[in-house]
Copies of this chain bind each other. A is one copy, B any other.
Amino acid sequence: MNRDLNPTHDPQLRSWISSANQPGTDFPIQNLPFGVFQRRDQPQESRIGVAIGDRILDLHQCYRSGHLQNLPEVLQQACAESSLNPLMALGPWSVAMLRPLLQNLLRADCPPPRLSEDLLLQDLQVEMQIPATIGDYTDFYASLFHATHVGSLLRPHNPLLPNYKHLPIAYHGRSSSLLLSGRPIPRPQGQRKGADEPYPHFGATQALDYEMEVGFLVGQGNALGKPIPIAQAESAIFGLCLVNDWSARDIQAWEYQPLGPFLGKSFATSLSPWVVTLEAIAPFRCPAFTRLAEDPPLLPYLSCFDNAKQGGIDLTVEVWLQSALMKDQGIQALRLSQANFQDMYWTLAQMVAHHTSNGCNLRSGDLLASGTISGAEEGSQGSLLEITRRGAQPFELPSGEQRRFLQDGDEITLRGYCRRAGYVDIGLGLCQAQITASI
Contacts and interface: CB of A to CB of B under 8 A. Distances in A.
Interface of A: 135-136, 141, 151, 154, 161, 163, 166-167, 169-177, 179, 186, 188-191, 193, 199-202, 224-227, 248, 251, 254-264, 266-268, 296-297, 299-301, 354-355, 357-363, 366, 439
Contact of A176 (B163, B262, B360): B360
Given A172-B262, A176-B224, A189-B359, 12 more contacts: A166-B191, A167-B254, A172-B172, A172-B173, A172-B174, A174-B360, A226-B439, A263-B354, A263-B358, A263-B360, A266-B360, A268-B359
B358 A169 contact: no
Contacts of A363: 176
8 contacts: A161-B258, A163-B254, A166-B191, A171-B260, A176-B363, A177-B361, A186-B359, A226-B439
A311 to B, nearest CB: 19
Contacts of A357: 189-191, 202, 263
B358 A189 contact: yes
A401 to B, nearest CB: 26
Nearest to A198: B296
Given A172-B171, A172-B262, A258-B260, A251 B360 contact: no
Contacts of A262: 169-172
Given A177-B224, A299-B200, A259 B171 contact: yes
**A141, A227, A264, A359: which has the most chain B beta carbons within 10 Å?**
A359
The 7 closest A-B pairs by CB, nearest first: A260-B260, A172-B172, A171-B259, A188-B358, A259-B260, A266-B360, A263-B358
A372 to B, nearest CB: 12
A11 B174 CA distance: 42
Contacts of A186: 225, 359
Nearest to A371: B259
A132 to B, nearest CB: 14
Contact of A296 (B199, B354, B439): B199
A163 B259 contact: no
B263 A355 contact: yes
A6 B275 CA distance: 54
A228 to B, nearest CB: 13
A300 B202 CA distance: 9
B176 A362 contact: yes
Contacts of A175: 135-136, 175
A190 B256 CA distance: 24
B172 A358 contact: no
A150 B332 CA distance: 53
A188 B227 CA distance: 10
Contact of A191 (B179, B257, B299, B360): B299
**A171, A175, A189, A258: which has the most chain B beta carbons within 10 Å?**
A258
A188 B151 CA distance: 30
A247 to B, nearest CB: 11
A248 B190 contact: no
Contacts of A167: 191, 200, 254-255
**A173, A191, A261: which has the most chain B beta carbons within 10 Å?**
A191
B299 A169 contact: no
A124 B188 CA distance: 50
A296 B179 CA distance: 36
A224 to B, nearest CB: 6
Given A202-B299, A225-B439, A262-B172, A163 B255 contact: yes
A366 B266 contact: no
A168 to B, nearest CB: 10
